[in-house]
Amino acid sequence: MQLRSSYRWFVVGVFFLFMLLHQADKLLIGPLTTPIMEEFGINEAQMGAVSSLAIGVAAVLYLVWGYFYDRYARAKLVALASFIWGSTTWLNALAPNYPTFLATRATTGIDDSSYPGIFSLLSDYFGPRMRGKVYGLLQVAQPLGYMLGTILALTLGASLGWRNVFFITGGVGILVAVLIFFGIRELPRGRAEPEMEGLAEIGAYRIDLTKARALLRNSSLLLLMAQGFFGVFPWNVITFWFFRYLEVERGYTSDQVMVTMLLAILFLSAGYFLGGYMGDLAFRHTRRGRVLVAGTGVLSGAVLLYLTLNVPLEQTGLFMVFLSATGITMSIAAPNVPATIHDIIEPEARSTAHSLTYFAENIGSAAAPFLAGLIAVRSSLHVAILVICISTWLVCAALFGSVAYRIPHDIEALRRLMAERAEREGSHWREPSQAD
């Protein structure tokens, strides 16, 4: 099966749109927290329970979505996730009281764990030499979605009310579901692997419980899961506490905080694509390339964050320069993790493997803000951010180093498996391919 290059990038564009708008919808609740609390007459603890419950639902369902993606048509399941996003957001907008709002908000977590299937399907549109760049480009949608959600909340929230904003974003979710359902073509699992190049026919491969259990015996995947657990600590500490750090400990005004964070997010977004590009480039020279780039990224982030937070308070320009550089390095590892997973895991188990890393990340994300708060009470946010971010980034660098040590063996094992499959499929039936 030949695929036009333009169609492959159309698929990337549709999934980018899905992730951009989905993230905007998911994060709208933050800027709209105050009017929601006022309408229902609830306190901070009750409002916090709303987000925590949705996160808990998403964490559990990562494993369910991942397994389903590896057994059934991924494009149709992503369309279903988009429909669930739209319909549950509508239900949330209709909630007449707090208990109903709490319950319907929990249902919005169902689709929050639907991303692994997107990366898995794209691994069958793009070969190993391009995946890092594609994944990096796709992940740019997440910080941009945060920005879009903030803008929508600030511009439409006051004039239309939070319920109508939810109706709008929910409607967008249903429209995107239709676009994905009719516009995205499913491909055979493993279509873009080098060994399958030119094969006219590829067999259908599906995960089963034996293959799922075998993932937990893959040492490289377990190391990547551990890295994911520790790797989200800096992200969650910074996103949760950095606004307050700028206001309280650096004396920034609200306008200064907004400009500083928006610029940081823009540089953070650039780091995703840069990281994917560098990972692909390094991978062409050595099979350890992706994880070496990822490890270098987190080490650089640790150094730059230390320098950033120790810039004197009055040197706001220098602080912004170092913060921007930190933002770029923070996201370098992100696209290289799914690309590495797809370098070592057979095509029919990739969504499940990716979901396991997301599951580990969600466990870590729940603990990070609380630990930072405990340290801040005893010292300062400056100390809390530095201690947690630098220590966990050093752990991540060590874990990436461990993955780099054994990953050539795992990649070779996958390449042998794919070669065996290609031989069984009949390698004499060949056609031109655009896998890379």
Residues 178 and 96 in one domain: yes
Q: What is the pLDDT of residue 426?
A: 65
Residues 279 and 159 in one domain: no
Flag whether 112 is in a domain: yes
d(CA 346, CA 70): 10
Flag whether 201 is in a domain: no
Flag whether 203 is in a domain: no
Flag whether 198 is in a domain: no
Query: CA nearest 231: which of 338, 331, 113?
Result: 331
Residues 237 and 124 in one domain: no
Residues 137 and 28 in one domain: yes
Element (H, E) at 369: helix 350-378
Maximum distance among all Cα pairs of the chain, rounded to whole angstroms: 70
Q: Structural domain tally of the chain? A: 2
Residues 119 and 74 in one domain: yes
> Residue ranges of the alpha helices (H) in 28-97?
33-40, 44-69, 74-94
Q: What is the three-class DSSP state of 41?
A: coil
d(CA 374, CA 254): 25
Flag whether 409 is in a domain: yes
Structure tokens at 77: 């399941």
Q: What is the pLDDT of residue 433?
A: 44
- 347 burial (CB, 10 Å; 0-12 / 13-18 / 19+) is buried
d(CA 232, CA 21): 22
Indicate which CATH number applies to the domain containing 316.
1.20.1250.20
Q: How far is CA 180 from CA 206, 234, 238, in A?
A: 22, 34, 34
Residues 144/21, Cβ–Cβ less than 8 Å: no
Element (H, E) at 349: none
Residues 351/319, Cβ–Cβ less than 8 Å: no
Residues 281 and 337 in one domain: yes
Q: Which residues contact 205 (CB under 8 A, 6 or more apart)?
A: 189, 190, 346, 347, 348, 421
Q: Please report where in the chains the tokens 């873009």 appear, as a residue.
A: 192
Q: What is the pLDDT of residue 69?
A: 94
Q: Which residues contact 71 (CB under 8 A, 6 or more apart)?
A: 206, 207
Residues 164 and 233 in one domain: no
- 203 burial (CB, 10 Å; 0-12 / 13-18 / 19+) is exposed
Structure tokens at 135: 């994944």
pTM above 0.95, yes or no: no
Identity at 404, one-letter amino acid code: A
Q: Which domain holds residue 405?
A: 214-425
Q: What is the pLDDT of residue 55?
A: 78
Element (H, E) at 112: none
Residues 78 and 118 in one domain: yes
Query: CA nearest 280: which of 291, 296, 268, 270?
Result: 291
Flag whether 320 is in a domain: yes
Residues 175 and 243 in one domain: no
Residues 264/327, Cβ–Cβ less than 8 Å: yes
Q: What is the pLDDT of residue 205?
A: 82
Residues 319 and 409 in one domain: yes
Handedness of CA 338, 138, 270, 328 (dihedral sign): negative
pLDDT truncated to tens, each residue of the chain (436 aa)? 556 778 999 999 999 999 999 988 887 877 787 788 888 998 767 877 787 788 788 888 988 999 999 999 999 999 999 999 999 999 999 999 999 999 999 998 899 888 999 999 999 999 998 999 999 999 999 888 888 887 887 788 778 888 999 999 999 999 999 999 999 999 988 888 888 877 767 777 888 888 889 999 999 999 999 999 999 888 878 877 787 788 888 988 877 887 888 888 889 899 999 999 999 999 999 999 999 999 999 999 999 999 999 999 999 999 999 999 999 999 999 999 999 999 999 999 999 999 999 888 877 776 676 777 788 888 888 998 999 999 999 999 999 999 999 999 999 999 999 998 888 876 444 444 444 4
Flag whether 335 is in a domain: yes
Flag whether 271 is in a domain: yes
Residues 285 and 415 in one domain: yes
d(CA 418, CA 193): 8
Residues 263 and 411 in one domain: yes
Size of the chain in residues? 436
Q: Please report where in the chains the tokens 């590896």 appear, as a residue.
A: 70
